[in-house]
Amino acid sequence: MRALLIIDVQNDFIPGGALQVPEGDHIIPIINNISSKFDVVVATKDWHPVGHKSFAKNHKKKEIGEIVELNGLPQILWPEHCVENTDGAEFVSSLNTEHIDAVFKKGTDTEVDSYSGFFDNDKRNDTGLNKFLTLKGVTEIYIAGLATEYCVKFTALDAKGCGYKTFLVEDATRGVNIKPTDVQNAVIDLKVSGIKVVNSKEII
């Protein structure tokens, strides 16, 4: 059983959004083209409370991009984004959601960020994604979405850690690239971890 995980294809992450990923909208036709090829399709949403402590605005005298310590973990401070029940947190309208079997929300705990679709960054909270996929009999996971070096990367690593054969659909992801080599380094990290990097044409 093969599953496609669509990570955080939300309004705030595409050009014009609060935390825009360059060319983030370019992956949507690719995802729409491959989603029908899978037995199970799951999507994640960043779904933050307005007071989330990953937001720079919630720290006095701190700027976007600064690194702080949040409950013992290093935390990059982001602009406010994907606040629950706002338009910025909704799926991009051009994403075909017809084949999506379930949606898992992450980043709901004010005190800790959640890059992975499986767990919060401190691994204390579980989204329920692993249980869902296990009950569906999924053995292989293909990952697409935003952003490559954050939520896509950590979802892929956790998928591998949970025992799934894991693939990154490289042309169906885009990254923030705060540093010019961030995406490149993330892909290398995934390959070293045993995650196979593929192109969407190989799926079709």
Which residues make beta-bridge pairs with 173? 145
Put residue 9 in one of left, alpha, beta given phi > 0 → left and psi -120 to 50 → alpha. beta
Catalytically annotated residue among 45, 53, 105, 106: 106
User: Beta-strand (E) ranges in the chain?
Assistant: 2-7, 40-46, 67-70, 73-76, 102-106, 140-146, 165-174, 196-198
Q: Is 8 an annotated catalytic residue?
A: yes
Q: Cα Rg for the chain, rounded, in angstroms?
A: 16
Instruction: Please list the alpha-helical segments (H only) found in 66-181.
Output: 129-135, 153-161
Catalytically annotated residue among 8, 12, 46, 120: 8
Q: What tokens were used for 34?
A: 């491959």
Q: Is 61 an annotated catalytic residue?
A: no
Cis peptide before 18 (omega within 30 of 0): no
What residue has token string 């600064």? 66
Of 172, 130, 198, 137, give the one whose Cα is nearest residue 29.
Answer: 172
Catalytically annotated residue among 45, 46, 120, 151: 151
Q: Is 151 an annotated catalytic residue?
A: yes
Catalytic residues: 8, 106, 151
